[in-house]
Amino acid sequence: MRFAISLLTLLAIASVIGTVLKQNEPYPNYVVEFGQFWFTGFEWLGLFDVYHSSWFLLILAFLVLSTSLCIWRNAPGFIKDMKGYREKASESSLAAMSHSVALPAGVSAAQASAYLRGQGFLVREASREDGVLVAAKKGAANKLGYFLAHIALVVICLGGLLDGNVPLKVAELFGKVVPETRDIPQSQIPPQSRLSTSNLSFRGNVTIPENSTADVVFLNAGNGYFVQDLPFLVTLKKFHVDYYSTGMPKLFASDLVVTDKQTGKETVATVKVNHPLIIDGVAIYQASFGDGGSPLRFKAWNLGVPNAPAQTLAAKSLGNQPVEINSQRYQLEAGELRTFNIENVGDNNAAMGVNKTFQEVMQSAGQVKHDKQLRNLGPSITYKLRDAQGQAREYHLYMSPISQDGRPYMMAGMRSEVAQPFAYLRLPLDDNNSLDDFMRLRAALMDAKVQSEVARRVAAQALAGQAIGREMREPFEQSVRWVLDRFGQGGFAALESFLDERVPKDKRKDVAQTYIKIVQGAVVEVDAVARERAGLPRRPVNEANYRFLIDSLVGVSALFDYGAPVFMQLDSFDEVKATGLQITRSPGKTIVYLGSVLLVLGIICMFYIRELRVWVLVKSDQVRVAMASNRKTSDLDRDFERHSNALQQLARGE
């Protein structure tokens, strides 16, 4: 018993460790977290997979053994006790019981037996030299409960050990199988890391894109994995995902075709969360989902050749491909395609209960539904562009225009470190929701000929409007050209760096204002020249168009920091989803369930069936009534009072 309690305590402590220390993470994460020294120690102790470590399994095995022994030791006594009536109890021991009373003579043994039988007791009468003893008992199932519950524990542990895949552990220990640690295609994995379909118990995962087939799953094994062959082929026909209007997922479902490798028999079924498919004792569960590698088409604007029209670039999400831009080699590493991006655009403060009046808070607490301002930002993609030196920047693109203050923009995020948040670039779109106008304007802003032409026109206009005198025309034209040139080489940042280098501090603010005014004034003409050259009419002067031009200036300026030789725009895609399935064979499950049922039945018997014993020793001069139970609660006091009163009344003949 003491040993059992110690084992249970040890088990509890080990379990706590397993919940505090994240289990089954990739090993490098642990090294980073704990350092090499502790990592080695922890690994030796098996702390990264506590529940499958040999010492943990050993404790379980000991528990099974000790509980079995306990049952074995207690069984004879308990069974004897269940069967017996204890009719040998001496008068003095009856008198010594805590619930015992001597009544005046009057009740006969037959009366007492009849009464007790009527109360649901099993009764046995024994004539002894000191009188007739009526020995009665009830609730023997209480002891049965002990057997059920404790046998159940053994059964559950055995079922668990069976599913814990002890044979595989042993094979691994003796080096018969070796986990694979490299990231290589499935077909190249050597036989010592493959497990055959005869493996009794396994639990593994596999990702299958739509219209693809898998016939293996991957089992985690410490730092590596095993490849488990399946007795069938699993083909994903289609993956369904539905969302609620709040953007929360509502349904994940995979339409599968399962083909038996031997018989060729096909089973068509849909697997959903909470609705697995079970075939030949192997269960297929919906575990996760994602992008399965979707063909993508980008529009790529070569930022180094501003006049060049956009080119189409085909790629595949989750795929890598080389691209050559301006005779430089790059690697395009596409990330996951997300077709759905729900965002709460409501007032965040209001939603978090900050700065709300008492009344608003009360109002909100009274309602179970709130109208969130949600909107779907549409599909998005991330990709990395890695240069020949291996340096990469990551980009995040939304495919659809995103509306801000009623105007459409193209949003593109950029970061150079994974840990950083994306910094977003915002390019204004034209009436066709395209970047054409912006890119044309950008090309013009960077074009020296356009700059001269615009400077000439702006100066002429200023003269005509009498904003400057005749003698100022030449210097003014020059400074416009200079400002435009500088802007065309590096945006606002280039002008700013000039200021910082050449202009005294106290004048910078004024000069900056002048520069900005010049650029903002000139951009109208730059746009006009660009459109003339493209054979387009001049843009009418109005608030919206002016806004477009100013946004364009900001966009052109920001593109200098974009860090990519191309601006890519996600043009279209053919979505291919993938399902993540968990496939298991767990023969221990039925055993564990059986054990669980026994356990519950056993506990009910132990706690809710009270073992009661009554002795009525009928002698010529008095009647001794005694009672005992294996649970000393006030229920026993009550029962004793009830039964002894009843017997007393019988004695009085009432």
| Interacting residues with other proteins (CB under 8 A) | 1, 5, 8-9, 11-12, 15-16, 18-20, 22-23, 50-51, 160, 203, 244-246, 248-252, 272-276, 283, 285-287, 351-353, 361, 364-370, 582, 584, 586, 589, 592-593, 596, 599-600, 603-604, 607-608, 631, 633-635, 638, 641-642, 645-646, 649, 654
Contacts 24+ apart (CB under 8 A), 546-551: 547/407, 547/428, 548/407, 548/428, 548/430, 548/437, 549/441, 549/520, 549/523, 549/524, 550/520, 550/523, 551/407, 551/409, 551/426, 551/427, 551/428
Nearest CA among 218, 189, 194 for reference residue 206: 218
Of 136, 141, 149, 313, which lies in the binding site for ligand HEM, with binding defined by CB under 6 A?
149
The answer to the question of residue 158 lying near ligand HEM (CB under 6 A) is no
Nearer to ligand HEM, 115 or 146 (CB): 146
Of 48, 146, 147, 395, which lies in the binding site for ligand HEM, with binding defined by CB under 6 A?
146
**Residue 488 binds which of ligand HEM, other proteins, none (CB < 5-8 A, kind-dependent):** none
Nearer to other proteins, 365 or 419 (CB): 365
Contacts of residue 461, Cβ cutoff 8 Å, sequence gap at least 6: none
Q: Which stretch binds ligand HEM (CB under 6 A): 144-152, 256-264, 361-369, 638-646?
A: 144-152
Determine the Cα–Cα distance for residues 254 and 270; give it in Å rounded to an integer. 5
Determine the Cα–Cα distance for residues 41 and 45; give it in Å rounded to an integer. 6
Determine the Cα–Cα distance for residues 241 and 290; give it in Å rounded to an integer. 10
Residue 290 · residue 577 · CB < 8 Å: yes
**Residue 150 binds which of other proteins, ligand HEM, none (CB < 5-8 A, kind-dependent):** ligand HEM
Determine the Cα–Cα distance for residues 223 and 163; give it in Å rounded to an integer. 21
The answer to the question of residue 598 lying near ligand HEM (CB under 6 A) is no
CA–CA distance from 438 to each of 246, 304, 446 (Å)? 35, 15, 12
Q: Which stretch binds ligand HEM (CB under 6 A): 65-73, 468-476, 555-563, 639-647?
A: 65-73
Determine the Cα–Cα distance for residues 553 and 524; give it in Å rounded to an integer. 11
Minimal distance, residue 596 CB to ligand HEM, in Å: 12
How many residues form the binding site for ligand HEM (CB under 6 A)? 14
Residue 590 · residue 521 · CB < 8 Å: no
**Residue 200 binds which of other proteins, ligand HEM, none (CB < 5-8 A, kind-dependent):** none
Burial call 574-585: b when 16+ CB within 10 Å, e when fewer: eebbbbbbbbbb
Q: Which stretch binds ligand HEM (CB under 6 A): 67-75, 115-123, 361-369, 542-550?
A: 67-75
Nearer to ligand HEM, 73 or 449 (CB): 73
Of 23, 53, 74, 223, which lies in the binding site for ligand HEM, with binding defined by CB under 6 A?
74
**Residue 70 binds which of other proteins, ligand HEM, none (CB < 5-8 A, kind-dependent):** ligand HEM
Contacts of residue 368, Cβ cutoff 8 Å, sequence gap at least 6: none
Of 21, 70, 126, 503, which lies in the binding site for ligand HEM, with binding defined by CB under 6 A?
70
Nearer to other proteins, 621 or 654 (CB): 654
Per-residue tokens: 238 = 């289609």
Residue 345 · residue 366 · CB < 8 Å: no
Query: Strand 202-209 vs strand 380-386: parallel, antiparallel, or unpaired?
Result: unpaired
Determine the Cα–Cα distance for residues 498 and 479; give it in Å rounded to an integer. 14
**Residue 74 binds which of ligand HEM, other proteins, none (CB < 5-8 A, kind-dependent):** ligand HEM
Region 601-620 residues binding ligand HEM, contact defined as CB under 6 A: 606
Nearer to other proteins, 282 or 446 (CB): 282
**Residue appearing with tokens 């490299």:** 182
Summarize as ranges the residues that interact with ligand HEM (CB under 6 A): 1, 4, 8, 63, 66-67, 70, 74, 146, 149-150, 153, 606, 630
